[in-house]
Amino acid sequence: MRLAVDTTPTQPPISAAPPDRRRAGFCSWTDWSTRARLVAVVLFIDALAALISCGVIVLNARNAVRVETRASLATVESLVADTIRLSDTASPDTLLQTLDLRFKVLRHVRVAVLEADGDQVGKPMPPHRSEREAPHWFADLIMPPIERHTLPIVANGQTLGTAQITTQPMDEIDEIWGYARALSMTTLAINAAMLIALYLALGRILAPLQRLGAGLTKLEHHDYTARLEPPGARELAVIAERFNKVAAALSEVRAANGRLNRQLLTAQDDERRRTALELHDEFGPCLFALEANAASIARIASGAAEPNREKLATRAAEISAIVGQVQTVNRELLNRLRPHGLGQAPLATCLDLMLRGFGQRHPATVFVGRFDSLARGYGDLVDLTVFRCVQESATNAVRHGAATRVEAEAVEANSQLRVTIRDDGTGIPLEHRTGLGLSGMRERVEALDGTFALDNAGPGAIVKITIPVPPERVDENNNAPSA
């Protein structure tokens, strides 16, 4: 028996129509919500993973089909040869019928038994396709070249016919298609469930951020009562805690501003009332006395007799004394509204003069000032703040603390202006700790990025003020000559 193998590979054309690409209108990526962005990113990752998986499946399936068909082809060739060898005693017709019946239905290959004249033994089998028929595009992706082998059937030295063996990879392709379809449906269902779970989970996770946005909107509309419930996530709980602290701080600042505005209005009204009272009590009697002396001089001058020079001199002296008193009251009033020497004379000189005035008005109290290390000036705002703080502290020490000694010290060190006022009195009573004077000093100092501290534990009270002074300040009065 001789085996002659005639291999004629055939390759069916592979056609793949490019998919239609339609442009769909999407809004800008920046307009998407965070949830939509995360879901889109997961979808993109899933699509990329599916594309890679499909590529790997196609490559593995193509190789598996090729190996399976070739193995089946080799097996069938051996079976045909064994059948011919075992049937040497049979008649030629019986041998051909046996071969046709034995290899009528096989997987992965098809065997056609032909007589010597080329007629096929038996009826040709219709193409067998399983119920899970793979689509053409899938078959075109993984189908290997069709191979056809021809084996002569020789018995007792006589050629009875030929056996044509043709590979049939569609059986294996159908099996692979069923596996791939089941795997794809399972993967699609799992991914869909994961996306739904992710969408719902992101809704719960991002809900605190939405509440945070609503809270910020309330703060923007000056509703400082907004508070956030701490969420379950630790990171978001920290954000909620910080938000609540900021809202509470803004509420306190707003309340403090309201109190300050009310105190400012009260202080303005008190200052107007005090000024009006001084004008009435001080200037009124003086003006009345001037009017009376002027009327007296007019009567003396209009008399028939020669005017009495002694009376005229007395009236003139009285007028001069009244004018002096008016000038003193006017100077004190203007100095209380705005120290006229501040900015013209050195700051230390203005502070010394102020304490000297306190000593004159309160002779039972000793006022001591140490301001030798100060520069000529630090600008209108800083100079006025230091002046008012020392003035208010001395006033509180005398008025509320009944102090017999008040010491004020101001030094410049390390780009800071440090002012300390201490007394030996009883301290400031608790009901006066948040008065207009103390709150005004605190607001003035903090407006200059400084710090204000009051130690009222006793003995006496100690006021400490620190105001930053830039090293590169330009003070136009530093090089001016002293008055």
Q: Are 180 and 61 in contact, with CB atoms under 8 Å apart?
A: yes
- Measuring CA to CA, which residue among 172, 149, 157 is closest to residue 79? 149
In a domain, 145, yes or no: yes
Q: The CATH number of the domain where 381 resides is what? A: 3.30.565.10
Predicted pLDDT of residue 88? 59
Residue where a domain terminates, one of 182, 198, 214: 198
Cα atoms found within 13 Å of the Cα of residue 133, Cβ hemisphere only: 6
Instruction: Output the pTM of the full model.
Output: 0.45
Predicted pLDDT of residue 124? 60
DSSP 118-183: SPBSSPPPPPP--SSPPPHHHHHHHPPPB-EEEEEEEETTEEEEEEEEEE-THHHHHHHHHHHHHH
Tokens 């008190």 belong to 270
Under DSSP, is residue 262 helix (H, G, I), strand (E, B) or coil? helix
Number of domains in the chain: 2
In a domain, 225, yes or no: no
Distance CA 353, CA 340 (A): 12
In a domain, 276, yes or no: no
Predicted pLDDT of residue 408? 93
Under DSSP, is residue 254 helix (H, G, I), strand (E, B) or coil? helix
In a domain, 466, yes or no: yes
- Measuring CA to CA, which residue among 188, 172, 218, 222 is closest to residue 66? 172
In a domain, 280, yes or no: no
Residues spanned by the domain of 364? 344-483
In a domain, 229, yes or no: no
Tokens 């056996």 belong to 163
Residue where a domain terminates, one of 180, 198, 216: 198
Residue where a domain terminates, one of 154, 176, 198: 198
In a domain, 226, yes or no: no
Predicted pLDDT of residue 410? 92
Per-residue pLDDT of the chain (483 residues; tens, 9 = 90+): 333 434 444 444 444 444 444 444 456 777 787 788 888 888 889 889 888 988 888 888 888 888 877 787 777 777 777 766 665 556 666 666 666 666 666 667 777 777 776 676 766 655 555 455 778 888 888 888 887 777 777 766 667 777 777 777 887 888 888 888 888 889 889 988 988 988 888 888 778 878 888 888 888 888 888 888 887 777 778 888 888 888 888 888 888 777 777 766 676 676 677 777 777 777 778 787 887 878 877 777 777 777 777 877 887 888 888 887 777 777 667 666 666 667 778 888 888 888 888 888 888 999 999 988 888 888 888 888 898 899 888 988 888 888 899 999 999 888 889 999 999 888 776 665 455 577 778 888 888 889 999 887 767 889 999 999 876 554 444 444 443
Q: Helices in 368-455 by DSSP H: which ranges?
A: 380-399, 436-447
Q: Are 311 and 293 in contact, with CB atoms under 8 Å apart?
A: no
Say which residues have a Cβ less than 8 Å from residue 340's Cβ, sequence separation at least 6: 334
Predicted pLDDT of residue 479? 46
In a domain, 257, yes or no: no
Distance CA 125, CA 230 (A): 76
